[in-house]
Amino acid sequence: MELRWQGAQKKEAGFWIRPGVLDSELERIKARYVPVINELSRTLKKDAKILDVGCGPTCAGRFFPSGNKTYIDPLMDIYLEAFPERLPPGERLKGLAEAIPKEDNTFDLILCINALDHMIDPEKALLEMRRVLKPRGILLLGIFLHPRPIAMVRRIVERYLPFLREEAHPYSFTLRDMRSLLEGFFSVEREIRVFRKENSLFPRLHREDWAFICRKA
Ligand SMILES: C[S@@+](CC[C@H](N)C(=O)[O-])C[C@H]1O[C@@H](n2cnc3c(N)ncnc32)[C@H](O)[C@@H]1O
């Protein structure tokens, strides 16, 4: 898996340094996630500790109006070099979700947007996020989910036809997969479909962007 992941990360690094990408991806975050972030921010204390896992250069945690923020991403050095003036202030760590360098029960809120299906081991990453969340802390998980037949085809391609696979995403999840994965770690309080490609001929065949608001017991 490590080797597969390294290939995905190479692709990812290439994606983010394309001209104009950061601006358009920030628009994605604003349109789909800022309404949820605004809602959650009303429940947080001003000095809440917030961790953005797999933050990319968009660093969606920046949209929380207050809080002590930490950003972690294995490509952080590349993002710092490519966008020295565009990453938000806060603690910026180069590291993996599977081994978050923080003590147990540290954060009030963790967000992880469009990153879980890029990781080496999503289950281990969720376990780590739960570990560093305070009791009753919130995880805002954002993820692209595929219709069942598409996810099945993607998995077959991933396993047996690697030359055809989509390099950046080692994993393909459905809504049902994500529900059962999250329920093993958190109590899922809300599921919000934040984007669907309505203007396509067959919207049901496209991946959809979902937000899950989860709480640590
Ligand atoms: C598609 S980008 C999303 C970035 C940002 N969250 C967003 O929505 O714009 C996926 C990010 O996940 C990061 N990533 C990949 N594997 C990871 C891992 N094991 N732990 C933490 N982040 C990881 C990548 O480096 C990349 O920055």
Which has the closest alpha carbon to 145: 107, 110, 180, 97?
Answer: 180
Mean pLDDT of the chain: 96
Span 59-71, pLDDT tens digits: 999 999 999 999 9
Pocket around ligand 1: residues whose beta carbon is below 6 Å from it?
9, 12, 25, 53-56, 58, 60, 73-75, 96-98, 113-115, 118-120
pLDDT tens for 160-200 read 999 999 999 999 999 999 999 999 999 999 999 999 988 88
CB count within 10 Å of CB 25 equals 17
Sign of CA dihedral 107, 109, 113, 118: positive
Helices (H), 42-146: 76-82, 122-132
- In this structure, what DSSP letter does residue 165 have? S
Distance 93 CA to ligand 1 centre (A): 13
Phi, psi at residue 97, to the nearest 5°?
A: -65, -25
In this structure, are residues 45 and 75 in contact, taking their beta carbons and an 8 Å threshold? no
Unique residue bearing structure tokens 């809602």: 39
Ligand 1 centroid from CA 146, angstroms? 18
What domains, with CATH codes, occur in the chain? 2-135 (3.40.50.150)
Task: Decide: residue 147, CB within 10 A, 0-12 exposed, 13-18 middle, 19+ buried.
Answer: middle
The pTM score is 0.97
The pLDDT score that the predictor gives to residue 204 is: 80
Helix (H) or strand (E) holding 5: helix 2-16
Ligand 1 centroid – CA 199 distance (Å): 27
Residues 150, 163: Cα–Cα separation, whole Å? 17
DSSP secondary structure string, 17-70? TSTTHHHHHHHHHHHHTHHHHHHHHTTS-TT-EEEEET-TTT-GGGGSSSSEEE
- The closest-lying atom of ligand 1 relative to the alpha carbon of residue 54 is 22
Give the separation between CA 30 and CA 191, rounded to whole angstroms: 18
Strand partners, 210: 143, 193
